[in-house]
Amino acid sequence: MTALSHQCLKPRGALYGLWIAALVIAAVAGLYCAYTMEHAGHHITGMTNRVVWGLPHVFAVSLIVAASGALNAASMASVFNVSIYKPYSRCSVALAISLLIGGVMVLVLDLGRPDRLIVAVTHFNFRSVFSWNVFLYTGFLLLCIVYLWFLCERRYQHQIKRIGLAALVWRIMLTTGTGCIFGFLVGRNSLDSALLAPMFIVLSLVTGTAALALCLLAIARSQQNPLPVATVRSLSTLMIWFVAALGYFAIVHHLTNLYVAEHAASERLVLGGSMAALFWIGFVTVGLAGPLLLLMKNLIADTDADYKTQKRRLQFASAAALIGGASLVYVIIIGSQVSAQRLFPGKTVLASSFGDVGNASYQPSLWEWGLGFGGVAVGLLIFQLLLRLFPFTADRQHS
Amino acid sequence: MQSTSNSVSARRRFLQKLGLLGAASALSSYTLIEVSASTAQGASAVNRWGLLIDTAKCSAGCDACVTGCNEEHGIDATGRDDTRAQWIRKIDLQDNLTGRESSLPMMCQHCASAPCVDVCPTGASFKRDDGVVLVNKHTCIGCRYCVMACPYKARSFIHETISNQKSIAPRGKGTVESCTLCVHRIDANTGQQPACAEACSKDAHDAILFGDLNNPDSEISRSLKQHKAIEVRSDLGLNTGVRYTGL
């Protein structure tokens, strides 16, 4: 067994240059979109006073949740002592930091008054889950920085399990907090559920592992040093469990909603209304069935079976899981606002001067897409920068 | 040597003056705070302001309360109904069992346990001692969590720049607002009704009654004792300051 060593990742080549250029353009475009939205006001977006949280929130929540899950490899190695993930610990923590910054950036730039960020970090209402999240996000960032430091310093090796455990507990709190942002909204039928917190934890495991798998495959390609088969198969196994668990929570969530009569309208919207296509195709087919089928094939195949096919399956399954995760977040956030709030049980609303009849419509604008992708680009740029500046990438590994 | 002792004493004098200046400014700002606190007449928990809406008197085709509110607070139509501020809206209902129709205005319910106040991360959404729920325009960051949390869809996010504002209702792009129960009229202590109630009475409907829910002798408290009034979404246990009869 060769000793574990790390290096800075400094890829060259036209393709890499193009990739970085694309990310920079997307990041700048995202900032421009945010500036325009802030300057002109949110009326240029698809958001209204019925749908006040739009696509930027879908991007922000997806990124933040994925950030928490991206720490999986580090947690597996440091806390559960799974040696196969040790070479990827630093990368895993760096990705978590990057995605979190990207997500929080989108969240902040979508505020009505992003210039008042200083107010958000100096005035706290501790009854608000949002306030807790300010601490959860900053705490997570600090923990991850310390975690990376310990991972890089030989003299702190004996402390890694402790910091890893702290980060694991913290990220579970973080995703619980994110889930609770929605779970505490008692006035909205589709959200009023304690199940959202554990569902967001599982969602983070799925999307975080998927994002990390894609990054590790890309890094391996740039290093011309393929991921070991064992790693590909282990990631496949993890993903299967996580995707299956997400499916379980989604089924329980919808079954309980269907059971409660007052939630029937919001369930109809998701299962058979304007959100149905995204739910059934985006989440169930692409996000659940697709990855499960592809990854099961990987596990059924012999260990020595075609490596490239196994790798490609993991790649497609991860991309599909990310699309599925984002679709689920969209259905949860937008779906909860599109359906009319029921104020008068036993009565039909005949007319309203402001949107109590029928479902609202929401069409995300280009500004929102721009800001969302800008956040993703900023996250990925930070990740590239971290890998370039610090020895976070494992060198050739053989056992 | 001489020059050194001169410079030391000059520095001492400077520091002494700086200290005196600091003490004077601290004292004056303390005095100002004290004066301002003693002259301001704050909201008192002795009162709890609220509305009682008689849906039997509310007419389906009438929107006088909405117009009255908009005029009072300078809420102009922007041409985009989905994004303009909606402090108060009219809803027409039909009972599924009896087919009986009713109409009512819906606005901020000024809940005692207001979800908007609970979720606001900066504390910009707050409840005064007299039960009026307001938004502090200086600390609202426009996160819209309160809009999401309000079960009554009573809050509006301001999507665009506002011109021709009224001094009694400062408003701002990128922040959230809702019915203030015409708090400027309450604080003026002239016994004026909120604009919606006034407009309703002007149209001879008298469907909106404003008053002090804590005062057992007020008209609103007496009416509440006589009629069966309900809270909308009473299942949430929010103890609303706005009640409805005839529903």
Q: What is the DSSP string of chain B?
A: -HHHHHHHHHHHHHHHHHHHHHHHHHHHHHHHHHHHHHH-----TT--EEEEEETTT--TT--HHHHHHHHHHT----S-TTTS--SEEEEEEEETTT--EEEEEEE----TT-HHHHH-TTS-EEE-TTS-EEE-TTT-----HHHHH-TT---EE--S---S-BTTB---TTSEE----SHHHHHHTS-PPPHHHHHHHHTT---EEEEETT-TTSHHHHHHHHS-EE-TTGGG----SEEEE--
Q: Does A265 touch chain B (CB under 8 A)?
A: no
Given a cut of 50, is residue A399 above it in pLDDT? no
Q: In this structure, how many other beta carbons lie within 10 angstroms of the beta carbon of residue A216? A: 24
Q: Residue B205: count other Cβ atoms within 10 Å of its Cβ.
A: 16
Q: Indicate whether B10 pLDDT > 70.
A: no
Mean pLDDT of chain A: 92
The token duo for A72 is 């999986």
For the segment A263-297, what is each residue's pLDDT rounded down to a tens digit?
Answer: 888 888 899 999 999 999 999 999 999 999 999 99
Give CA–CA dist B241/B165, Å, rounded: 27
Reported as a single tens digit per residue, the pLDDT across B151-160 is: 999 999 999 9
Q: Give yes or no: residues B97 and B30 share one domain.
A: no
> In which band, very low, low, confident or very high, does the pLDDT at B79 lie, cut at 50, 70 and 90?
confident
**For B101, which residue in chain A has the nearest alpha carbon?**
A350
pLDDT attached to residue A303 = 66
Kindly state whether residues B151 and B64 are assigned to the same domain.
yes
Shared-domain flag, residues B192 and B239: yes
Q: How far apart are CA B56 and CA B54, in angstroms?
A: 5
- Are B233 and A130 inside 8 Å of each other by CB? no
Q: Are B178 and B241 in contact (CB under 8 A)?
A: no
Regarding whether B21 and B125 lie in a shared domain, the answer is: no
Please calculate the CA angle A237-A240-A245 and round it to the nearest 5 degrees: 130
Answer whether B180 touches A (CB < 8 Å): no
> Position of tokens 């619980």?
A176
Kindly determine whether residue A50 and residue B151, on different chains, have CB atoms separated by under 8 Å.
Answer: no
Considering only the beta carbons, identify the residue of B66, B93, B233 that sits closest to A348. Answer: B93
Could you give the strand order of the β-sheet that contains A347-352, starting from the edge strand earlier in sequence? Answer: A347-352, B88-95, B101-107
Does one domain contain both B2 and B121? no
Report the distance separating Cα A324 and Cα A126, nearest Å.
Answer: 33
Q: How far is B67 from chain A (nearest CA, A)?
A: 12
Residue for token digits 């117009």?
A: B67
Q: Are residues B108 and B226 in the same domain?
A: yes
Give CA–CA dist A36/A26, Å, rounded.
15
* Angle at B179 (CA atoms; ends B177, B184), nearest 5 degrees: 100
Contact list in A for residue B101 (CB cut-off 8 A) is 350
Supply the pLDDT for residue A262: 81
Residue A192: the pLDDT is 78
Contacts of B109 in chain A (CB under 8 A): none
Same domain, B26 and B59: no
What's the domain count of chain B? 2
C-alpha A74/C-alpha A90 separation (Å) is: 7
Q: How many helices (H) and strands (E) does chain A have?
A: 14, 3
How confident is the model at residue B38, as a pLDDT?
A: 41
Q: Indicate if B140 and B241 belong to the same structural domain.
A: yes
More confident residue, B4 or B233: B233
Which CATH number do you get for residue B231? 3.30.70.20
Asked whether residue B119 falls in the same domain as residue B197, the answer is yes
**Residue B116: pLDDT band with limits 50, 70, 90:** very high
Q: What is the dihedral of CA B38, B42, B46, B50, to 10 degrees?
A: 170
- Could you give all domains of chain A from N- to C-terminal order, each with its CATH number? 19-341+361-394 (1.20.1630.10)
Looking at the fold, whether B130 and B236 belong to one and the same domain comes out as: yes
Whether B67 and A318 have beta carbons less than 8 Å apart is answered as no
Helical (H) or strand (E) element with A250: helix A229-259
Closest CA to A115 of A25, A37, A53, A181: A37
What are A355-365's pLDDT values in tens digits? 899 899 999 99
C-beta separation of B179 from B107 below 8 A: yes
The answer, yes or no, to whether residue A387 has pLDDT greater than 90, is yes
**Which residues on chain A are in Cβ contact (under 8 Å) with B83?**
42-43, 47-49
Residue (of A162, A165, A198, A192) closest to A179 by Cα position: A198
Q: How far apart are CA A203 and CA A209, in angstroms?
A: 10
CB contact under 8 A, B121 and A125: yes
CA distance readout (Å), A11 to A17, A95, A198, A218, A220: 9, 18, 39, 11, 11
Mean pLDDT of chain B, nearest integer: 88
Interatomic CA distance for residues A300 and A387, integer angstroms:
34
Mean pLDDT computed over B115-137 = 96
Q: Does A121 touch chain B (CB under 8 A)?
A: no
Of B95, B120, B148, the CB nearest to A185: B148
Token couple for A397: 């590994």
Q: Is any Cβ of chain B less than 8 angstroms from the Cβ of A113?
A: yes
Q: Select from B193, B237, B245 the least CA-distant residue to B218.
A: B193
For the stretch B17-38, pLDDT in tens is 656 666 665 555 444 444 444 4
Q: In 3-state terms, what secondary structure has residue A350?
A: strand
> Do B169 and B206 fall within a single domain?
yes
B3/B102 same-domain check = no
Q: Is B39 exposed, middle or buried (0-12, 13-18, 19+ CB in 10 A)?
A: exposed
Question: What residue numbers bound the domain in which B19 lies?
Answer: 1-40
Candidate from A125, A184, A343 with C-beta closest to B120: A125
Mark yes or no for CB contact A41/B160 under 8 Å: yes
> Identity (one letter) of the amino acid at A51?
V
